[in-house]
């Protein structure tokens, strides 16, 4: 049974130097351990959380000495999450690089970065079994495989978060798209907005009143009615590649949310793989991960059928 502590009184916390530059929502998730992220956003949105007596957005960056008002809230004790030993072993084998500042992982498809929402564990729970501390600085969809970086201390989290926020990280993906994508570079510059559809499901749509999003697609190979393409992100919005691909009538193969076409026989996941990630800090370096075997096998099959 989940235990719930009583509501605390209002707290006023001064931001310490090692938290300077951290996003407010991430700061609150640590300060209110056990509180759902949705409640944290609601507290900020309704003005119950304030920084220096002012209302701010959840993504606002904190500065040393800022005063954060945290309202009374019932805090659940964190649930014990049991991660299978086999998964811990798999993630260990999938570590691409590790330093004192960061860890780079080839994330398997089907593994969410965070637990919750019906999931008993996430990648961060696995990493907690391997390292003393890890902090997420960006995300990959659960269905997406490939290169993902996490910070190992607050200072690294601040540096990496700033690099992503200022578009200093180059992210490239490999995607299989429906139809014949035109040769050359196809740039999609369409704002994206999160909504709930009539069934209550969360999704993202292209909308003029959304947040600006830019994706560059480049066809790598034509494959019997499909296009293997490289996608380069200029911004990093939720489901950005998936929605931009669907918006130009070349939805990602296997995408059950944005593609109505059936996936090729044998494909049991979405064909989207984060193939490379170039970081500017602590030294400029590019990390890469090869296509998983199941995606390579599909490409080989399509090549044979089109020859």
Residues 67, 45, 151, CA angle at the centre, nearest 5°? 65
Q: List the chain pLDDT tens, one digit each, 307 residues.
A: 344 444 558 888 888 776 777 889 888 888 887 777 778 888 998 999 999 999 999 888 888 889 999 998 875 555 556 888 999 999 999 999 999 999 999 999 999 998 766 678 889 999 999 998 888 889 999 999 999 999 999 889 889 988 988 899 999 999 999 999 999 999 999 999 989 888 778 899 999 999 999 999 999 999 999 999 999 999 989 999 999 999 999 999 999 999 999 999 889 999 999 999 999 999 999 999 999 999 999 999 999 987 6
What token pair was written down for 8? 């605390």
Q: Do domains 11-70 and 167-306 have the same CATH topology?
A: no
Q: What does the pLDDT read at residue 8? A: 59
The domain at 85-160 falls in which architecture? 2-Layer Sandwich (3.30)
Q: Residue 261 corresponds to which tokens in the numbers above?
A: 């076409």
Q: Is the pTM of this model over 0.75?
A: yes
CA–CA dist 219, 235 (Å, integer): 20
The per-residue pLDDT for 17 is 73
Distance, in Å, from the CA atom of 227 to the CA atom of 217, rounded to the nearest integer, reads 11
- How far, in Å, CA of 33 to CA of 233, rounded? 32
What is the number of other CB atoms lying within 10 angstroms of the CB of residue 199?
6
Q: What is the pLDDT of residue 94?
A: 98
Peptide bond into 282 cis (omega under 30): yes
Domain 11-70 adopts which CATH fold? 3.10.290
d(CA 132, CA 52): 32
Record the tokens describing residue 32, joined without a space. Answer: 């209110």
Choosing from 85, 141, 293, 300, the catalytic residue is 141
Task: For residue 141, indicate whether it is catalytic.
Answer: yes
Where exactly are the structural domains of the chain? 11-70, 85-160, 167-306
The predicted structure's pLDDT at residue 36: 77
- One of 3.40.50.300, 3.30.2350.10, 3.30.930.10, 3.20.20.70 is the CATH number of 167-306, namely 3.30.2350.10
CA angle 33, 37, 39 (to 5 degrees): 95
pLDDT digits (tens, 9 = 90+) for 91-128: 999 999 999 999 999 999 999 998 766 678 889 999 99
What's the pLDDT score for residue 76?
Answer: 56
């Amino acid at each position: 049974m989940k235990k719930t502590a009583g509501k605390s009184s209002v707290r006023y916390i001064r931001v310490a130097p090692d938290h300077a530059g951290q996003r407010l929502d991430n700061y609150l998730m640590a300060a209110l351990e056990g509180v759902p992220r949705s409640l944290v956003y609601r507290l900020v949105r309704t003005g119950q959380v304030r920084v220096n007596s002012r209302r701010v957005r959840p993504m606002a960056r904190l500065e040393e000495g800022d005063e954060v008002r945290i309202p009374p809230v019932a805090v659940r004790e964190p649930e014990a999450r049991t991660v299978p030993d086999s998964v811990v072993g798999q993630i260990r084998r999938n570590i691409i690089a590790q330093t004192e500042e960061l860890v780079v992982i080839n994330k398997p498809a089907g593994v969410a970065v965070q637990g919750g929402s019906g999931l008993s564990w996430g990648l961060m729970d696995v990493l907690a079994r391997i390292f003393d501390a890890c902090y997420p600085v960006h995300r990959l969809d659960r269905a997406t495989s490939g290169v993902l970086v996490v910070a190992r201390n607050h200072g690294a989290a601040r540096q990496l978060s700033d690099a992503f926020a200022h578009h200093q990280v180059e992210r490239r993906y490999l995607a299989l798209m429906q139809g014949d994508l035109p040769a050359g570079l196809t740039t999609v510059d369409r704002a994206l907005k999160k909504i709930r559809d009539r069934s209550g499901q969360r999704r993202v749509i292209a909308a003029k009143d959304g947040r600006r999003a830019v994706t560059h697609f480049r066809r790598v190979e034509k494959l019997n009615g499909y296009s293997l393409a490289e996608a380069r992100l200029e911004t990093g919005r939720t489901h950005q590649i998936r929605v931009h691909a669907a918006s130009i009538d070349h939805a990602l193969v296997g995408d059950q949310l944005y593609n109505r076409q059936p996936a090729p026989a044998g494909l049991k996941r979405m064909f989207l793989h984060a193939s490379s990630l170039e970081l500017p800090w602590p030294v400029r370096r590019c990390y890469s991960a090869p296509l998983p075997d199941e995606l390579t096998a599909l490409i080989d099959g399509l090549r044979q059928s089109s020859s």
